[in-house]
Structure 1
């Protein structure tokens, strides 16, 4: 880089020399100009004086001659009057008149005398018509006798002319003298103005000279600053870790820095003159400089942060990946040059490759975690389900003595404890993965959730001698719309943790609500206060870590894996909330759960108070149980038969479809994970055709992941029962979906779909988001239009199905189904999708069943929309 910087420094030295020459030239020019202006001023003043004198003398002589010629003419007239008969005297008179006439002619035409009073006066008395010359000239030109006769009159008139001329000459001379003085004074004033202007110009020149001097000094300082900057830049570039090479217009290296020597393994002297294309290589071109210039000018996306990835060739012919940035510049002589900044990126590429490998490994690990979650859900919960169900069945269907009851309680307690630990591990796995955002949103009452949890934990609290107390809010709280499972998980762990670490004390749950001004969001601060052992200050953060317990020794007094608070914290964060803790060792702890949740839309009439049919009043049902695990099948069958139901079993989906096609069951309980054909596919086939296509189908699964629920319901399942199946859970399903079955048996073979077994007609989450984003008026108009179109589409689909035009019918159903799904009308969407699938399979019976479902869903959808506050133009009678 020495040559490049030396040229810059030499340019600075030349600039300072040029500045000194300009200063001397400016001073010399100023002195010469001042002297020349003084000389010119003196010359002009002298010339003006001489010019004024000459002009004044000429005019004075002319005026004097006018009077002389007048007197000569008067004398000639007097002589002629004395000798009128003398021809010579008359000739002298004529000569004197001609001279007089000529003199006055010159006077009348003179520009110098034109402004004098004599000219105007004599012009009127001598030259005008009838004046002196007009009268006398013909007499002078006449013969001698005529002239002699007119001499007396002429003599008299000459007296008047002579007096007039004399007076005018005197007056004009006075005027001439006054005008001369005035002109000379004016000229002197002009000369003085000229002198002042010249001095001002000289002052301006002096000021400009001063400005130029100051500018030159500033330029000199900038030049010195530039030199320092050049020195600093030289130091920076020479110490730069990036290689820098300078090339001329032909692409030959002219200079480089030390980093370039190290990168290419070539000395600086040897690099000079080497073509750049021997140092840099890019696939598809032999001229890297031209390539870089074209990419820069076109703004190509191939440039990453202004750099292009290339291969650099070393002296030993090895290659290394480099990033190159190019800048165009000019040398000291204006010749084009290129500056290439080259960075060795071999280590970065190696790191990126390592990160890419680590990312792929992480993705594989996440995939393995998901597989672990699915396998653990099924393979571990299934045997636990069998253990718990068999124990409950043993206790309720067998007469046990006291010891056997005690042992069965131990088995049942251990089974639930094992299931609780499995659930904690699976929940932790889910919350730590991408599935944490897939929990189903539902409407629920926070107060009722706490009530249920307090009731559920009462037995455990009683065993430790603890009192549970719930301080309910003074005012009723609205229902909220949120992932109920996460909300429940937070409070379940906080309350359970408080009970576990409190003996003979109290656990208090307090809710402090705050409804936001717009009434759309509810801020909750739920505190769980215990009088237990408390937590040391240094442990307040550690207790939220996974697998952390306050007493990790073998002799610890409290059971647990240390996952409860960690799961509670992750669940709270997944809802957008936080958990805070305040504790004093030996006095107790207060855990506070703060979260803000959307207020649920207006609940449908009757949605909060469902009547439960007593177990003994349930009708005996004909139930198909589909389960590939013989133990689970046997246990479920026994639990149902003990309650008076008729049970038919199937080992897989294929067998279930065969039996459901020919037999009209009241309900189907089917496992989801089965060999040959799983429960989802079996449900689709059963819904398509057969005697049981309209009955409730309940999925039974150990995979309780919330993101799977839409898939289960979308396949046609009515509800999902999560293993392990307890008596309460099974009775709840039977109670819910057995309502109206005895009544429906009296109806036609295609029962009405508007029974409690039908899935919800609204997707609450999509519907609420559409309301929030689009506004109620927009959704009302869209829903109103869609309901009307659906009624028309139902008639159109019926006609197309009857005509056997299945493909066209499928397209019509698909179009309307998409519009229904867009605003959350899941009931309409499901019925239309069922029709579309049947039409694609040319299944006329399936189309007919789907149309029955569609016509039943329309009024339920209208009712649900009205319950959610929408005003529809569809008449209520028609909707119902």
Structure 2
């Protein structure tokens, strides 16, 4: 470890030496720059003066020559006028004119003279059309006689021209002098700006130099601080409880701390002589350093907070579980190196193992409790189904007076409530979790729910001598849109609990409401007040725990499992509400349920009459039937067409979605379980968009389990028909939704656990009446042949463990059997489907034996009913 810190200190010293070298170089550069700038300034100033002087002299001479040439021409004209017949005088005149003419040509070609008055004004005067040069040039180029005759007039004109030339030359010289002075002034100003900029640049360089010096001093202070920090860090790492080792890129260990010496049982020199892989290892990794580096870079899921569990090898041959974190760095030479932080986790693993064992023991106890609860609930389901079925038969087959009807309604209502409680207990773990959102949301009246609960609990309260009363709000209470099942479960448990712990007293249910969020949400406060035995303050929290009763004597005196209040609390929380309790021993208790629910949207006035139509009032509808079983599809299609409806068929959910996107149907009847895409997924897709997103979608299934209904309705189905589909049920559901209303039926009652007949006489007779004997014979014969094939298919699939495919095959045939009333065959196939879905090979084998036994019995009874069947020998036997 000292080597690592020595390298860092050496690097700090080298850094300070480099700073001093930079200072010297910066000073030299500053001096050189200043000298170069002064030299350039003087040189430029001298050259500008020289250039200005040369140009000025040349222009002045040219202007002076113009006046001299004009005077020479005037003198030549005067001499020619005195000797008009002398050819020599005339030739001198021509020469003087040519020089004067050429001088003006030079003016036009000179950039320096172009803007002067002598060029811009005088030249134009002399050279313009009809001016001096245009008039005189022909005379100069003519003969001597003509020129001699024109000399007197030319002499007069030259006087004027000479004066004009002198005036323009003087003016041009003055202009030239002013321009020269202006240029020199501008040049000197530019030089001054240049000098100022140079001085500013020098000042900036000086400021930068000062900043650099200050930064260097700060860096020196930081270097000193770094040295102190390095010394402190060295002491910290050496005193660290975690082991630390440093390795190069090849896995050779270069240094370590004292904790590493203790962990590996080796001295520092011994550790430096070995490789990383010799000290740390992991099963399946030949090079643990490279593997760990790769995992850290790829953020592998094996890492826990950037650490990986490995095994450390001690000098005595022992193996210690450790947790390793790896960091990559660079040494003073720039080569990569790896720093591994190693922690001994043997004690932590022992603690985790102890906690894991305790958790497993607790889970086993919870599992045993859950199994007991499930068995108890299933055992209760059978007598409850019998009670409900017997009561319904009593109401439908016996003439009851008013009081008997009232009592039978109470029995039936209590039976349904008890069955709901049994089903809810089975879903206890679902409450309070994310799955609570799957409960069906319906529109219901809170007041009516409480009234029904008061009616159900009235006999129980009267038996214990209690007065049961409901204090309703004075103003009407709007309907709410929420999971009615959860709301009912909360109040059912609170009211039942109050009655159970009150004798010869009173139980009062008080409802208070207020609208919130502009009337879109309704806040409900339901208080259940009893005058019972009360609860001690220390037990107010404990009473909401599942399977919790207050004490042994209390439990013996008051029957119960301790689930009621726990279920109520979880149900309330699943709705977003809370339950509060206040109580005093011997004075009674008050349980208050607070919840805020959305107000149900009122249906339009024209749609409020939601009574179903009579059968003869139902209009002809365009209906889509989605069924993968050809027998079911044919049977359902014929039943609908006999009643005047137009029917389109689809073999699975994919075809259903395609048809629904292209045709505006009035209603869709769809099976639940189908290949490629089931009815639930097809319903979800249809509800998203398209022509059929708002029409009634009726599910058709043989699975009438109550716990499945929220899933079906939650997928977007309007209602569910349970196979076998009777004529009355089909007519009722079409009449119910023919107006386009979307009412939700009560969940179908589970069939009572009684012996299933081979043939459902009502369904079979109705099918014969509807379809005719020939049609039924053809369908039954086809179904029985299909069942023979399915038995072979189930044997093959079961032998290889393909229970999923076997369950689908059984489901398909079971639905067809139920459709024409072959209840025994349907029951056996449904039992096989359930066993296959649970991957229970024993139950599936038993159900397959039942299918084999029921098939010949079904054939026999069909023949007894007069059907001519062309069957194989195996089916007939």
Q: Please report the TM-score for the alignment, with normalisation by the length of structure 1.
A: 0.53
- Are residues 327 and 200 of structure 1, via their aligned partners in 2, closer, same or farther at CA, if it must alter by over 3 Å? same
Q: Deviations over 1:5-64 (max 9, x none)?
A: 555555556556656665676676567656655554455444434433333333333443
2:509 is the alignment partner of 1:511: yes
Q: Deviations over 1:323-346 (max 9, x none)?
A: 333333333443323333333333
2:169 is the alignment partner of 1:179: no
- 1:807 aligns to what? 789
- Are residues 579 and 63 of structure 1, via their aligned partners in 2, closer, same or farther at CA, if it must alter by over 3 Å? closer
- 2:531 aligns to what? 529
Q: What are the within-5 Å matches in structure 2 for residues 331-350 of structure 1?
A: 331-350=331-350
Q: 2:780 aligns with which of 773, 798, 801?
A: 798
- Are residues 297 and 446 of structure 1, via their aligned partners in 2, closer, same or farther at CA, if it must alter by over 3 Å? same
Partners of 1:23 and 1:213 within 8 A in 2: no
Work out the CA distance in 2 between the residues paired with 1:197 and 1:75.
54
Work out the CA distance in 2 between the residues paired with 1:367 and 1:847.
42
- 2:718 aligns to what? 777
- 2:672 aligns to what? none
- Are residues 543 and 352 of structure 1, via their aligned partners in 2, closer, same or farther at CA, if it must alter by over 3 Å? closer
Q: What are the within-5 Å matches in structure 2 for residues 277-426 of structure 1?
A: 277-366=277-366
- 1:136 aligns to what? 140
Partners of 1:41 and 1:195 within 8 A in 2: no
2:852 is the alignment partner of 1:841: yes
Work out the CA distance in 1 between the residues paired with 2:489 and 2:117.
127
| Residue 307 of structure 1: how far off its partner (Å) | 3.0
Q: Deviations over 1:191-214 (max 9, x none)?
A: 314523552564466457647755
The range that moved more, 93-102 or 354-363, is: 93-102
Partners of 1:327 and 1:339 within 8 A in 2: yes
Work out the CA distance in 2 between the residues paired with 1:48 and 1:75.
41
Q: What are the within-5 Å matches in structure 2 for residues 64-463 of structure 1?
A: 64-68=64-68, 71=71, 90=88, 101=98, 105=102, 108-109=105-106, 111=110, 112-118=112-118, 121=122, 125=126, 132=136, 135-136=139-140, 157=154, 160-161=157-158, 164-165=161-162, 167-196=164-193, 198-200=195-197, 202-203=199-200, 206=203, 210=207, 217=214, 231=230, 237-272=237-272, 274-366=274-366, 445-448=452-455, 450-457=457-464
Partners of 1:264 and 1:312 within 8 A in 2: yes
Work out the CA distance in 2 between the residues paired with 1:794 and 1:592.
60
Partners of 1:794 and 1:851 within 8 A in 2: no
Work out the CA distance in 1 between the residues paired with 2:71 and 2:523.
131
Work out the CA distance in 1 between the residues paired with 2:571 and 2:817.
28
- 2:589 aligns to what? 590
Work out the CA distance in 2 between the residues paired with 1:274 and 1:480.
72
| Residue 281 of structure 1: how far off its partner (Å) | 1.8
Work out the CA distance in 2 between the residues paired with 1:435 and 1:296.
39
| Residue 317 of structure 1: how far off its partner (Å) | 3.5
Work out the CA distance in 1 between the residues paired with 2:9 and 2:249.
23
Work out the CA distance in 1 between the residues paired with 2:93 and 2:159.
14
- Are residues 536 and 129 of structure 1, via their aligned partners in 2, closer, same or farther at CA, if it must alter by over 3 Å? closer
Work out the CA distance in 1 between the residues paired with 2:522 and 2:828.
32
Work out the CA distance in 2 between the residues paired with 1:526 and 1:150.
144
Partners of 1:481 and 1:597 within 8 A in 2: no
Q: What are the within-5 Å matches in structure 2 for residues 667-686 of structure 1?
A: none
SS in 2 for 1:283: coil
Q: Deviations over 1:391-435 (max 9, x none)?
A: xxxxxxxxxxxxxxxxxxxxxxxxxxxxxxxxxxxx9xx999979
SS in 2 for 1:841: helix
CA-based RMSD: 6.2
Work out the CA distance in 2 between the residues paired with 1:150 and 1:576.
134
Which ranges of structure 2 fall in alignment gaps of 5 or more residues?
379-421, 441-448, 599-610, 612-701, 735-762, 795-807, 834-846, 864-877
- Are residues 250 and 579 of structure 1, via their aligned partners in 2, closer, same or farther at CA, if it must alter by over 3 Å? closer
Partners of 1:69 and 1:99 within 8 A in 2: yes
Q: Deviations over 1:121-161 (max 9, x none)?
A: 4687589975555543676xxxxxx69x9668658746744
Work out the CA distance in 2 between the residues paired with 1:827 and 1:184.
127
Partners of 2:783 and 2:817 within 8 A in 1: no
Work out the CA distance in 1 between the residues paired with 2:430 and 2:80.
151
Count of equivalent residues: 605
Work out the CA distance in 1 between the residues paired with 2:531 and 2:353.
52
Work out the CA distance in 1 between the residues paired with 2:56 and 2:498.
128
Partners of 1:800 and 1:808 within 8 A in 2: no
Work out the CA distance in 2 between the residues paired with 1:844 and 1:769.
33
Work out the CA distance in 1 between the residues paired with 2:134 and 2:21.
81
- 1:52 aligns to what? 52
- Are residues 768 and 62 of structure 1, via their aligned partners in 2, closer, same or farther at CA, if it must alter by over 3 Å? closer
SS in 2 for 1:338: strand
| Residue 359 of structure 1: how far off its partner (Å) | 3.8
Partners of 1:277 and 1:287 within 8 A in 2: yes
Q: Deviations over 1:687-728 (max 9, x none)?
A: xxxxxxxxxxxxxxxxxxxxxxxxxxxxxxxxxxxxxxxxxx
2:699 is the alignment partner of 1:767: no
SS in 1 for 2:338: strand
Which ranges of structure 1 fall in alignment gaps of 5 or more residues?
140-145, 379-426, 459-467, 500-505, 600-604, 606-759, 853-880
- 1:390 aligns to what? none
Partners of 1:522 and 1:596 within 8 A in 2: yes
SS in 2 for 1:178: helix
SS in 2 for 1:334: coil
Partners of 2:85 and 2:148 within 8 A in 1: no
- 2:737 aligns to what? none
- Are residues 526 and 178 of structure 1, via their aligned partners in 2, closer, same or farther at CA, if it must alter by over 3 Å? same
Q: Deviations over 1:71-101 (max 9, x none)?
A: 5566677778889999xx94x9868965874
| Residue 175 of structure 1: how far off its partner (Å) | 0.9
SS in 1 for 2:59: helix
Q: Please report the TM-score for the alignment, with normalisation by the length of structure 2.
A: 0.53
- Are residues 244 and 333 of structure 1, via their aligned partners in 2, closer, same or farther at CA, if it must alter by over 3 Å? same
Q: Deviations over 1:276-311 (max 9, x none)?
A: 222222333332232233334444433344333322
SS in 1 for 2:509: strand
